[in-house]
Every structure is written in structure tokens, then in C-alpha cells.
A = this chain, B = another copy of it.
Amino acid sequence: MNAPETNPRQISKSERTRADLLLAAREVISRDGLVNTRIVDIVQHAGRSSGLFYSYFKNKRELFASLVEEFGDNLSDTAPDPGDYTDDPAALVRATVQGLWHRYKEHRGDVKGLFETALTDDEIRAEWQKLRKAGIRSFAYRIRKQQAVGLCQGMDPDLAGSALLGLFEFGFFNWEICRLDYPDADVPDDQAIETLVTLLQSALQLAPGRTET
């Protein structure tokens, strides 16, 4: 109950303000996109004054880097433990995709911003790359396992992992952020996830085990 060392009431005013700004940024960017978001939009959404922004962040890019960093921490914390799925890799794929999908939805603004600025900002690109590393490694690991039993021949595991994470991320971009192929209709989460899971399992030549949503 009580935290003797880090009293929850002792969250300083400044920490609170910083968190408010980050939250406001996430919301505004999710709605308007990173490029179209002005500093004043963020601070107004947080009910603060524009100068305050610069007490906490050097500029919009640094703020966004903070958002992405939080996103990365969140992804690490919530990744499924492969140890729980040792004899059912298809289920691990499903669990991974489901987890990612929801995490990405919670960080919709962050993902949107990554797609918007990775091409024009090398640091943001590097942040995105960092974010992807665990997912790629996991796919590559699975491919190596398959290759050890004679499947998934003729592909470089790392490159294929890079591509398969791309399958997921572009799916999210397409159906959830950009509404590229279905601009007028929502693609329901479960349908999106089901499609991605099935394709990834096929691509990895995994016979799906018993799966429950």
C-alpha cells in the first residue's frame, strides 16, 4: 500500500506537467499527425502556455523521441515469453501479433509519427529501428528453427524477419492509421489480427496448433 521510499504523493508538480504534455502530445498527434501538430496545439490541449513546452522539451522532435522511448519500454514489458510457447510456435505468433496490435493501438500517435517522419529525420528512423529489433529477432529465431528441420529454405532469416515485421506494421498502418485500402470502413481488430496471424503462420510454414482468441 504505502511506498516508503517513493511516495506516490511525491510525484512532483514538474513530473506531472511533463506527463501531461506527453499525454496531450500523444492524443493530438494521433488525431492530426506529427507533421501537422504545432507546439501550441499540444500545450493548448494540455491547458498550458506555449513557453512551458520548452521547459520540458527542446523541441517537437525531442518530445516525440520521448514518446517513442516510452513506446519501446512498453513493448519490451508486454512481449510474450517464448518460454510459455515452446511446443506451440504458432500460438506464440498469435500471441505476439495480438499483443503488438493492441500495444500499437495504444500508441497510435507514436506509430503515425514514425511513419510520417522516419524518412525525413534520421534520429527518428534510428528510434524506429531500435523498436523493431526485438520483433525481427523473434521472427528470425523462428525461421532458423524451421530451417533446422528443413523448412523455410532459401531465405535469409534476418532479412525475412525484417520483412515479416513489415507485414505486421504495414497492416497496422494500412488499416488502422492511414485507412489506405479501406478508407470508408473500419477493419475490425480481430479480423486484422486473424489475417496477419494466418499469413505469418503460413509464411513461417507453421501448422497452426489449437488457437483460441
The answer to whether A199 touches B203, judged by C-beta atoms less than 8 angstroms apart, is yes
Q: Check if A86 is an interface residue, CB within 8 A of chain B.
A: no
**Which of B129, B191, B196, B199 is close to A183, meaning CB atoms less than 8 Å apart?**
B129
A163 to B166, CA, bound (A): 10
A196 to B120, CA, bound (A): 26
User: Most chain-B CB neighbours within 10 Å: which of A36, A112, A120, A192?
Assistant: A120
The answer to whether A183 touches B126, judged by C-beta atoms less than 8 angstroms apart, is yes
Chain B residue numbers with a CB within 8 Å of A119 are 33, 35, 112, 115-116, 177-178
For chain A, the bracket of interface size reads: 35 or more
A162 to B203, CA, bound (A): 15
Residue of B nearest to A133 (CB): B181
Q: Check if A194 is an interface residue, CB within 8 A of chain B.
A: yes
Chain B nearest CB: distance from A12 CB in Å? 15
The answer to whether B203 touches A154, judged by C-beta atoms less than 8 angstroms apart, is no
The answer to whether B174 touches A166, judged by C-beta atoms less than 8 angstroms apart, is yes
The answer to whether B180 touches A128, judged by C-beta atoms less than 8 angstroms apart, is yes
List residues of A whose CB falls within 8 A of some B CB: 33, 35-36, 112, 115-116, 118-120, 125-126, 128-129, 132, 136, 152, 154-156, 159-160, 162-164, 166-167, 169-171, 173-175, 177-183, 187, 191-192, 194-196, 198-200, 202-205
Task: List 7 contacting pairs A-B, 8 Å CB cutoff, sorted by A.
Answer: A132-B180, A155-B199, A162-B175, A162-B182, A163-B196, A166-B166, A166-B173
Given A163-B167, A163-B195, 18 new contacts (CB under 8 A)? A35-B119, A35-B120, A115-B115, A125-B179, A125-B180, A126-B183, A129-B183, A156-B191, A160-B195, A162-B171, A162-B174, A162-B175, A163-B170, A164-B199, A166-B171, A166-B174, A199-B203, A202-B202
